[in-house]
Amino acid sequence: MNSRKIKQFLGTLVRILILTCFFLSATLPLFWIFVTSIKNGTELYAIPLVYWPKEPTIAAYQRLFSYSNFGQYFKNSLFVTLTSSVVAMVLSVMGGFALSRFRHKKMKGILELLMYFTQTIPSFMIMLPLFMFFSKLKLVDNLPILAVIYVATVIAFSTLMSRSFFDRIPVDLEEAAKIDGCNMAQSIIHVVLPLTLPGIAAIFCFAFVNIWNELFLAVMMINKAAKYTVPVALNSFISKAGVSWDLMSAGIVVSLLPTMIVFGIGQKYIVAGLTEGGVKG
């Protein structure tokens, strides 16, 4: 009896220790970047390292938004990400519903295979032809075009995810609605959609996170500083001679906020989306 209790106690202790390690290693890197962002110029490159600044300062953030024009980049990113996430969400809800309800089995199989195949295509495989195509049309440095391309990069995955959510809603519900006098559109809007709201939220969160974080396509399609998205702006901070790490850290902190907020709010949906409808990390 006693030895079992000791064993149980030790087990709990080990568990707490391991969970603490995971917690610290997940949070400390970001915390350090935050500390770096509120240091002044001398503390930043002081040896021995300063673990907490004597007088925390927001000077780096001020420089970020005035001198580096980060507010504009943030707005650009927000515009592109929100537009393409909403469009991708609407189109994938439609497409996913259709894919789930198709009666022609062969057609359904082919469409699904097409969608899965797109998941193996590296994004840099398509970025060169896209760039050449749009530069001939003089449509580079164009944020709506970037948004359109982003819709395409997330739509297959979103559609597959939305299909798996619709798959779990019995067709009988729509049939019942039809008997009650609803047409197809009405039965979808009033009966099916409310049941899939969590799934739709998951699709939106996924699209938002993936698009907000995308770098390489944006570097390709955007050259003018006024049109930079946030990752492109961070990239431009390094290519200039030497990195000023207080400014960079402030930029990183600000750039991570939106997806962290989306993750914080949508965690439940994201986990459901990954585990039940997910085909990609």
Partner 1 sequence: MKTDKWYLLMILPALAFICFFIFYPLLQGGVMAFQNYSLFNLKDIHFIGLENFKTIINSKSVNFWQIMFNTLKWTVLSLILQFLLGFLLAMMLRKPFKGRSLYCGFVFYPWALCGFAIGLIWSWLFNGQFGVINDLLMKIGIIKENIGWLSNPKIAMYSVVISNVWYGIPYFGIMLLAALQSVPNDLYEAAKLDGANGIQQLFHVTIPYIKPTIISTVLLRSMWIVNFPDLIYAMTNGGPVNSTHILGTMMINKVYKEFDYGQGSAYGVIIMVLLLTYAVIYLRVTKGKGED
Residues 60-89 binding partner 1 (CB under 8 A) are none
Tokens (6 digits) for 266: 């949508």
Residue 212 contacts by C-beta under 8 Å, 6 or more apart in sequence? Answer: 77, 81, 230, 258, 259
Q: Please list every residue from 85 through 144 that binds partner 1, using CB under 8 A.
A: 91-92, 94-95, 97-99, 101-104, 107, 111, 114-115, 118-130, 132-133
| Helical axes 143-167 vs 193-212, angle rounded to 10° | 140
How near is the Cβ of 67 to partner 1 at its closest, in Å? 19
How near is the Cβ of 275 to partner 1 at its closest, in Å? 4
Residue 179: HSE in the Cβ half-sphere, 13 Å Cα cutoff: 6
Look up residue 110 and give its amino acid. I
How near is the Cβ of 274 to partner 1 at its closest, in Å? 5
Task: Tell which residue, 172, 201, 19, 177, has the closest CA to residue 93.
Answer: 201
Q: By CB under 8 A, is residue 10 in contact with partner 1?
A: no
* Pairwise CA distance, residues 279 & 158, whole Å: 10
Q: Please list every residue from 210 through 249 that binds partner 1, using CB under 8 A.
A: 212-213, 215-216, 219-220, 230-231, 234-235, 238, 245, 248-249
Q: Please list every residue from 20 through 39 that binds partner 1, using CB under 8 A.
A: 22-23, 25-27, 29-30, 32-33, 36
How near is the Cβ of 160 to partner 1 at its closest, in Å? 10
Q: Which of 76, 153, 187, 196 touches partner 1 by CB under 8 A?
A: 153
Task: Tell which residue, 210, 241, 220, has the closest CA to residue 127.
Answer: 220
Q: Please list every residue from 161 through 180 that binds partner 1, using CB under 8 A.
A: none
Task: Tell which residue, 276, 274, 279, has the closest CA to residue 164.
Answer: 276
